[in-house]
């Protein structure tokens, strides 16, 4: 490709900004990033309260976040944030010691004498985790590479986490199993208990329930190495918030994102003509990191922050057919000021609320700043499952009330003497776009990958790999490597 090609990038979140960075690194400098809001970062959103930034979107990374590390180097950013820690509670506020592995590891005998049932269970769980790790590395070799190219056909191609980001390629028919829901996959490999551990950073962080999400997504994100970093709380955070990573990246790019860009229309032919804020701009190529979902009657896109793709792009029949299969998670966060003497000592997971029967309940409450009682606590809840609540999405306002009530039950009482009864900020998102097992197994990803480059169009962002910072940025890296020659 001609290095002077004029490239439009739609979206100034991690995927769009990192695509620009990797393009620049290869000498493609003639790009424009269009961002529809008044800030960059997308779901890495870190507002300020009393002089400190808190997190409404992405919070953490792990040492195997290689692409995020590329950005840190490029933009001069350090993961210098507060240390994360967590504990567990039952929904009624009692402490939950079932996964209190720190105590068990410090003194196994003492732990056994105090909690014999938990000790026996933890031993079984540890054995299954070990076995699961071995099975993933051998039977499912190639499971942890970037993106989903070939997986449904029993192949792999991309950057492997387990091999310290080496590009790898090969065939492994067992990988076809990754299209089944994660609960079925765990049962098939004889390790059903591992779900208790994988669920904690998965469902609680809005990525849906294990009976409906294909194992491929769960394991692209929580590959064995990443999962062990979560277990050992070996996590990265950023003092100025995850948004600051992308603000700093944006400031270092040759062309900062154009904010408040309203893309009205895109027409593709020999060239790509974009109507933005009333003016026409002509490009050679377009990279789309905005939501690709096309709405249908059965699967409407009734989301306050996402537009259906066909409202601004001249979608082809093939794009319409494939992108109408995408669904997303209804996952929103609230920042709540709590009564000063109820400010939690750490963050808490409420694992019993991470099941479809408890849809709409508080799954995690996150305390970012230790001892800073003038800082908000952030709440996380899901509002949709294919069968719970008759398959109907729970109402946004109704869920807010449930979550506030749950906060009281677990003892992080909202401070109703503050404005808005303590509710400081709300963040509604278009979260974790994905397809379901049937479409995954039928080769959805291979069909979309085969469209890359057609009509001068490339697709990136969360749906192409997974909805976390590193998978999205690593996919942008992979895309640039594959299609934009040195």
Query: Residue 290 in contact with residue 328, Cβ under 8 Å?
Result: no
| Closer of 118 and 476 to ligand FAD (Cβ) | 476
**Interface mask toward ligand FAD for 348-387; x: CB under 6 A:** ----------------------------------------
Backbone angles phi, psi at 107, to 5 degrees: -145, 85
Asked if 469 is part of the footprint of ligand FAD (rule: CB under 6 A), the reply reads yes
| Closer of 15 and 362 to ligand FAD (Cβ) | 15
**Interface mask toward ligand FAD for 160-199; x: CB under 6 A:** ----------------------------------------
**Interface mask toward ligand FAD for 218-257; x: CB under 6 A:** ----------------------------------------
Tokens standing for residue 267? 């027409």
Q: CA–CA distance from 423 to each of 42, 353, 368, 400, 401 (Å)?
A: 22, 21, 17, 10, 11
Asked if 150 is part of the footprint of ligand FAD (rule: CB under 6 A), the reply reads no
Tell me how far, at minimum, the Cβ of 47 lies from ligand FAD, in Å.
Answer: 13
Give CA torsion, residues 301, 304, 306, 310, to 10 deg: 50
User: How far apart, in whole angstroms, are the C-alpha atoms of residue 63 and residue 308?
Assistant: 35
Tokens standing for residue 230? 């979560």
**Interface mask toward ligand FAD for 294-313; x: CB under 6 A:** -------------x----x-
| Closer of 319 and 468 to ligand FAD (Cβ) | 468
Total binding residues toward ligand FAD, as defined by CB under 6 A: 36
Tell me how far, at minimum, the Cβ of 290 lies from ligand FAD, in Å.
Answer: 3
Q: CA–CA distance from 221 to each of 202, 224, 372 (Å)?
A: 9, 9, 32
Beta-sheet strand order (sheet of 279-283):
263-268, 272-276, 279-283
Query: How many degrees, rounded to 5, is the angle at CA 148 between CA 145 and CA 149?
Result: 95
User: How far apart, in whole angstroms, are the C-alpha atoms of residue 468 and residue 466?
Assistant: 6
Q: CA–CA distance from 8 to each of 239, 272, 289 (Å)?
A: 32, 9, 11
Tell me how far, at minimum, the Cβ of 117 lies from ligand FAD, in Å.
Answer: 32
| Closer of 60 and 104 to ligand FAD (Cβ) | 60
Q: For the packed helices 224-231 and 195-202, what is the interaxial angle rounded to 10 degrees? A: 80
Tell me how far, at minimum, the Cβ of 388 lies from ligand FAD, in Å.
Answer: 20
Region of 57-65, 364-372, 417-425, 444-452 interacting with ligand FAD (CB under 6 A): 57-65
Region of 11-19, 20-28, 267-275, 447-455 interacting with ligand FAD (CB under 6 A): 11-19
Tell me how far, at minimum, the Cβ of 263 lies from ligand FAD, in Å.
Answer: 5
User: How far apart, in whole angstroms, are the C-alpha atoms of residue 315 and residue 265?
Assistant: 11
| Closer of 177 and 470 to ligand FAD (Cβ) | 470
**Interface mask toward ligand FAD for 321-340; x: CB under 6 A:** ------------x-------
Asked if 72 is part of the footprint of ligand FAD (rule: CB under 6 A), the reply reads no
Asked if 214 is part of the footprint of ligand FAD (rule: CB under 6 A), the reply reads no
Asked if 34 is part of the footprint of ligand FAD (rule: CB under 6 A), the reply reads yes
Tell me how far, at minimum, the Cβ of 99 lies from ligand FAD, in Å.
Answer: 19
Query: Residue 40 in contact with residue 250, Cβ under 8 Å?
Result: yes
Residue 34, helix vs strand vs coil: strand
Q: Which residue in 5, 37, 172, 347 binds ligand FAD (CB under 6 A)?
A: 37
| Closer of 212 and 471 to ligand FAD (Cβ) | 471
DSSP conformational letter for 338? B
| Closer of 57 and 356 to ligand FAD (Cβ) | 57
Query: Residue 447 in contact with residue 477, Cβ under 8 Å?
Result: no
Sign of the Cα torsion 252, 253, 258, 263 reads negative
Helix (H) or strand (E) holding 186, with range, is: helix 182-188
Q: Which residue in 21, 35, 351, 406 binds ligand FAD (CB under 6 A)?
A: 35
User: How far apart, in whole angstroms, are the C-alpha atoms of residue 200 and residue 177?
Assistant: 23
How many helices (H) and strands (E) the chain has is answered by 15, 19
| Closer of 141 and 330 to ligand FAD (Cβ) | 330
Bridge-based pairing of strands 31-34 and 86-88 is unpaired
| Closer of 42 and 111 to ligand FAD (Cβ) | 42
Region of 33-41, 176-184, 317-325, 414-422 interacting with ligand FAD (CB under 6 A): 33-41
Strand partners, 434: 327
Bridge-based pairing of strands 52-53 and 86-88 is unpaired
Asked if 429 is part of the footprint of ligand FAD (rule: CB under 6 A), the reply reads yes
Which of 456, 445, 171 is closest to 323 using CA atoms?
A: 445
Tell me how far, at minimum, the Cβ of 427 lies from ligand FAD, in Å.
Answer: 7
User: How far apart, in whole angstroms, are the C-alpha atoms of residue 461 and residue 90?
Assistant: 36
Tell me how far, at minimum, the Cβ of 41 lies from ligand FAD, in Å.
Answer: 7
Region of 88-96, 119-127, 382-390, 459-467 interacting with ligand FAD (CB under 6 A): 459-467
Residue ranges in contact with ligand FAD by CB under 6 A = 10-16, 34-37, 42-44, 57-61, 205, 261, 263, 289-290, 307, 312, 333, 429, 431, 461-462, 467-470, 472
């Amino acid at each position: 490709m001609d290095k002077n090609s004029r490239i439009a990038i739609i979206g100034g979140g991690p995927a769009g900004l990192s695509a620009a960075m990797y393009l620049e690194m290869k000498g493609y400098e003639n790009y424009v990033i269009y961002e529809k809001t008044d800030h960059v970062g997308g779901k890495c959103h870190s507002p300020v309260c009393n002089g400190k930034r808190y997190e409404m979107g992405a919070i953490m990374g792990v040492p195997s976040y290689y692409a995020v590390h590329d950005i840190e180097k490029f933009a001069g950013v350090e993961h210098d944030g507060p240390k994360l820690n967590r504990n567990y509670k039952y929904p009624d506020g009692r402490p939950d010691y079932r996964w209190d592995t720190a105590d068990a590891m410090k003194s196994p005998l003492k732990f056994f004498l105090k909690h014999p049932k938990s000790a026996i269970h933890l031993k079984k769980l540890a054995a299954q985790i070990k076995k699961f790790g071995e099975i993933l590395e051998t039977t499912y070799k190639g499971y942890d590479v970037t993106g989903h190219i070939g997986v449904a056909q029993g192949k792999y191609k991309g950057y492997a986490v387990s091999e310290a980001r080496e590009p790898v390629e090969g065939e492994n028919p067992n990988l076809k199993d990754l299209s089944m829901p994660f609960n079925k996959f765990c049962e098939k490999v004889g390790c059903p208990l591992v779900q208790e551990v994988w669920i904690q950073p998965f469902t609680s962080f809005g990525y849906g329930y294990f009976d409906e999400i294909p194992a491929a997504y769960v394991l692209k994100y929580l590959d064995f190495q990443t999962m062990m970093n979560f277990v050992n709380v070996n996590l990265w955070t950023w003092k100025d918030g995850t948004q600051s990573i992308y603000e700093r990246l944006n400031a270092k790019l040759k062309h900062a994102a154009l904010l408040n860009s309203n893309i009205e229309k895109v027409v593709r032919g020999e060239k790509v003509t974009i109507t933005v804020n009333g003016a026409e701009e002509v490009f050679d190529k377009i990279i789309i990191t905005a939501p690709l979902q096309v709405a249908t009657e059965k699967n409407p896109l009734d989301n306050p922050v996402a537009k259906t793709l066909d409202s601004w792009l001249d979608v082809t029949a093939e794009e319409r057919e494939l992108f109408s299969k995408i669904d997303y998670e209804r996952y929103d966060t609230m920042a709540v000021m709590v009564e000063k003497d109820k400010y939690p000592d750490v963050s808490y997971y409420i694992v019993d609320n991470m099941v479809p029967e408890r849809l709409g309940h508080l799954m995690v409450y996150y305390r970012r700043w230790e001892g800073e009682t003038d800082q908000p606590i952030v709440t996380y809840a899901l509002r949709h499952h294919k069968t719970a609540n008759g398959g109907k999405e729970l109402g946004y306002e109704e869920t807010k009330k449930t979550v506030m009530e749950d906060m009281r039950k677990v003892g992080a009482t909202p401070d109703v003497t503050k404005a808005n009864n303590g509710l400081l900020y709300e963040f509604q998102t278009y979260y974790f776009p994905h397809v379901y097992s049937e479409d995954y197994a039928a080769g959805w990803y291979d069909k979309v990958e085969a469209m890359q480059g057609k009509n001068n169009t490339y697709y990136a962002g969360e749906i192409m790999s997974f909805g976390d910072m590193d998978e999205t940025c690593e996919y942008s890296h992979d895309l640039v490597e594959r299609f934009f020659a040195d």
